[in-house]
Structure 1
Amino acid sequence: MKKTVFVLLAALAAAAAAGQNIALGERAPEPKVQCWLDGRQPAEAPMTYVEFFHSASRNSLEAIRHLQRISEKVGDRLRIVVLVHEPEEKIAPLLTPYLSEHLGVGCDPNGKLFTAYDVRYVPFGVLLGPRHRALWMGNTLQLTPEIIEKSK
């Protein structure tokens, strides 16, 4: 019975990971956004982390806090772009406190980037290197500064 449950859980995890439309090492869509929350675009950096956010997910907000802590450790080596496709008036009270030189919230009102990345669950993010090649992807709460350092 335990073996059956384990196999079922492993299959579900693989299916969820396969749902994303990005391949490691391949070029990913550039995170071009229509507007920036509070007009604050994050500074350029050698690597970009694209985080997909939805206010209905409690884990999405925890992922933003996690990214803020990572940003404090890696500094100007990482640019964090949080993408939202909800109205600005809804997400501004939640995300404005996390804006910084390295973390910005980009508006994707039509969800084009969510579709381009085939996002099916949040928190989900993609670490991009130079030329927008995918270096790491997955549940943002599993991202560590060590993963970022190894991905250079």
Structure 2
Amino acid sequence: MTSIKKKHFLPLIVCLLVASYSFGQIKVSEFLQESKIASSDNNKLFFVDFWATWCVPCITAKEHLGVLQKQFPNDLYIVSLTEENPLRVEKFLKKKPTDLAIAIDYKGETFKDYNVRVLPEGVLFNADGKVLWQGGAPDLKKEIVSKFLRQQSSKASLNSFFNVVSIEEDTISEYVPTESLEIKSLSYNVEDLTIGDAEDYLKLTGSLKQIIGYLAKIYKNQIVLEEGLDTNYEIYFKKPLNANENLAFKLVTKMNLGVERKFAEGEGIKFNVETPRFWDTNQIDWGKNNAKYLVGDSQIQADNVSLKDVAYQLAFVLDMPVIVPDETDVSLGKHDWDFHYKFFQLMQTDLEDNYGIKAEKKKITYPVYHIQKKAP
């Protein structure tokens, strides 16, 4: 056990005593390991690397950050932070060890505070807790670190910068569902949908609208819930999942809700596929039970997913409906993807040249699903 883990309450006491310094601005529930490269004392910069065990690009990012940490062992301290169950993380580290410090986020607070939605992501702080830089973890370069080091004079230790707050043991034990579908209503608000794609289950935490949208791969504005229905839930689907089963319909049926399809008009994107040239599933391989998407600032990559899946991700980042062909083979077949989305004309070129997809942005008619309680 590391020295930090043995001293769960000491950093909190230090934070309370030293009022003149903004110590403890990053809360963690525990450190699974300290850095095997960097000094934990008197660092000018701290970098929080947001990651998850299921995120294959995060592993590549860690290799880059490991090299970067070796270049600045005395002035920069990198902490890889995950909001996953520590038991799962420890199991993962036995298979894929790292020399970087590993910590567990306290109730996901840091992920929420810095609006982390896409992994790998990172935030660079000075010793006073000021954010100097935020972006994709692989984009933090030696030159960026050197520039900020020249501008900083304050230093802080690891124990003073991170506030280790213990949590109850029963929250550490990992829950595994016993039923094929389990629904738990939450009393607190959840801003963003979180997805846990584990070996034994799929866990979704968020509002009912977010969860149904994810399961059905439908843009959020294409779902209208009866007043009072859009509350927050924790949903478990036990694996193995039936590939032919509509999980959104299964959830709605279990909750005794009805669905009525209507139509609306508005700006959107329509995909036409006359002669598909889709990639096969051998172009990208991120492994089983790992991330299916990597959505960057301008590029979407996906491993073994359908056109409908990709359209859902695109609708989310562009904030407009994306309509795909009705043909099942075209819209639901599994493929690998890598295309630009930030500039529409460049996206059009990518999609047509690489996949045979013609994308049009125009006023379209799209389905809207109205969900309400069934009459008793």
* Global fold match (TM > 0.5): yes
Residues 134 and 37 of structure 1, relative CA distance in 2, 3 Å threshold: same
Equivalent pairs, count: 121
Q: Secondary structure at the match of 1:48?
A: strand
Larger helix fraction of residues? 1
Answer whether contact 2:27 2:106 (CA < 8 A) is retained: no
SS of 1:37's equivalent in the other structure is: strand
Helix, strand or coil: the match of 1:113?
A: helix
Q: Where does residue 128 of structure 1 map in the other structure?
A: 125
Q: In the alignment, residue 74 of structure 1 is paired with which amino acid?
A: F
Is the CA contact (8 Å cut-off) linking 1:84 and 1:109 kept in structure 2?
Answer: no
Task: Check whether the contact 1:51–1:83 (CA below 8 A) recurs between aligned residues.
Answer: yes
Secondary structure of the residue aligned to 1:75 is coil
2:135 aligned residue: 138
**Is residue 128–residue 134 contact of structure 1 (8 Å, CA) maintained in 2?**
yes
Shift of 1:84: 0.8
Which of these residues, 32, 38, 58, is aligned with residue 37 of structure 1?
32
Computing the radius of gyration from Cα coordinates, the structure with the larger value is: 2
Question: In structure 2, what is the equivalent of residue 106 of structure 1?
Answer: 103
Residue 124 of structure 1 deviates from its aligned partner by: 0.4
2:136 is the alignment partner of 1:118 = no
CA distances 1:25-71 after superposition (whole Å, capped 9, x unpaired): xx9x8222111104x37713110001111122111111111110101
Q: What is residue 92 of structure 2 aligned with on the other side?
A: 94
**Alpha-carbon offset, residue 88 of structure 1:** 1.6
Q: Which segments of 5 or more consecutive residues in structure 2 lack a partner in the other structure?
A: 1-21, 150-376
CA contact (8 A) 1:34 1:107 kept: yes
Deviation at 1:80, TM superposition (A): 0.8
Equivalent in the alignment of 2:71: 73
What TM-score results when the alignment is normalised by the length of structure 1? 0.71
Give the residue type in structure 2 aligned to 1:136.
Answer: W
Change (3 A) 1:95 1:136: farther
Deviation of 1:109 after TM superposition, in Å, equals 5.1
How much does 1:123 deviate? 0.5
TM-score (norm 2): 0.30
Contact 1:31 1:50 in 2 (8 A): no
Residue 119 of structure 1 and its aligned partner are, at CA, apart by 0.6
Distance in structure 1 (CA, Å) of the matches to 2:86 and 2:92: 10
1:98 partner letter: T
Q: Compared with structure 1, are the counterparts of its residues 36 and 93 closer, same or farther at alpha carbon in structure 2 (3 Å cutoff)?
A: same
Confirm or deny: 8 A CA contact 2:28 2:106 kept in the other structure.
no
- State the 1:89 CA deviation: 2.1
Equivalent position of 1:4 in the other structure? none
| Structure 1 residue runs without a partner (length 5+) | 1-26
Structure 1 segments of 4 or more deviating over 3 A?
Answer: 93-96
Deviation at 1:75, TM superposition (A): 1.5
